[in-house]
């Protein structure tokens, strides 16, 4: 359990670092996705503490995992997809407007427009 936690933490940190430090906006969006994925995994891991079978009740199914985190994460994944799609659409717009994907260059070019 502890190894999984460390790995999830690393995934989260990598994502956060990408958002803060990477100048490329596409990589920033990747970072956001990584962070989201880390939290999703954390919830799922937590839910699997009490069982190891999928929560679809039928004959002989015992020791199911906690179904609530799974239901929540389904929603969280959907929201994550929406946000990434929108972010990528905005990235395309920014590229069309300025011809660059580097956030610093974009900021500079947009400022000089005025």
Partner 1 sequence: MSIETLSLAPIYLPLLGAALILVCKSFFPTKIRRLAEYMGTILGLGLPPVIVLFLYPTLQQQGSIDLVIGSYAPSIGINFSFDGLSILMILLAACVTIPTWIYSRKVGPAHSNFTALVLIQNAAISAISMTSDLFNLFVCLEVMGVVAYVLIASSQKGNAVHASFSYLMFSSSAMVFFLLGVFGLYRLTGSLSYDGITQGLAGLGPSEQKTALFSLVLLVVPILLRVAVMPLSLWLIDAHSKAPHAVSALLSGVLLKIPLFALIRVLHLTPLASGMGLPISWAGTITALVAVLSALAQSDAKKLLAYHSISQIGYVVSAWGLALHTGLETQAGALLLAASLFHAFSHALFKALLFLSIGTTTDCSGNRDVYTLRGANHRLRQEGEVLPLTMLCYFIAALSITALPPFNGFFSKTLLTYSLKGGWQYAILSVAGAGTVASFMKLSRIFLPSKQPFEPIVKESLPRFPFTLHLGLSILAALCVLTGIFAPNLIFFIGTLLGGAYALDYGNQFFFSASNLLKTLYTLFGGIALFALAVSKPGSKVLYRLKAMKSSFSDLFLGFAAAIAALLLMLLQH
Chain residues that interact with partner 1, rule: CB under 8 A: 16, 19-21, 25, 28-29, 31-32, 35-36, 39, 42-43, 46, 68-69, 72, 75-76, 79, 82-83, 86-87, 90-91, 93-94, 97-98, 103-104, 106-107, 110, 113
* Contact yes or no for 49/66 (Cβ under 8 A): yes
List, in sequence order, every residue forming a beta bridge with 102; answer none if it has no partner.
24
3-class secondary structure, 54: coil
- With respect to partner 1, which residue has the nearer C-beta, 60 or 96? 96
- With respect to partner 1, which residue has the nearer C-beta, 53 or 95? 95
- With respect to partner 1, which residue has the nearer C-beta, 2 or 60? 2
Per-residue H/E/C for 67-91: HHHHHHHHHHHHHHHHHHHHHHHHH
Shortest approach of partner 1 to residue 59 CB, angstroms?
23
Shortest approach of partner 1 to residue 49 CB, angstroms?
9
Q: Report the alpha-carbon distance of residue 6 to residue 8 in Å, rounded.
A: 5
Shortest approach of partner 1 to residue 7 CB, angstroms?
16
Shortest approach of partner 1 to residue 54 CB, angstroms?
18
* Contact yes or no for 65/54 (Cβ under 8 A): yes
Q: Report the alpha-carbon distance of residue 81 to residue 28 in Å, rounded.
A: 15
């Amino acid at each position: 359990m502890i190894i999984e936690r460390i790995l999830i933490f690393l995934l989260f940190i990598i994502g956060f670092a990408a958002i803060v430090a990477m100048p490329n906006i596409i990589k920033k969006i990747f970072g956001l996705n990584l962070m989201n994925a880390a939290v999703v995994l954390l919830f799922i891991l937590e839910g699997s503490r009490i069982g190891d079978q999928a929560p679809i009740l039928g004959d002989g199914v015992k020791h199911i995992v906690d179904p609530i985190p799974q239901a929540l994460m389904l929603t969280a994944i959907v929201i994550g997809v929406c946000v990434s799609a929108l972010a990528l659409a905005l990235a395309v717009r920014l590229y069309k407007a300025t011809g660059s994907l580097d956030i610093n260059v974009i900021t500079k070019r947009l400022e000089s427009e005025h």
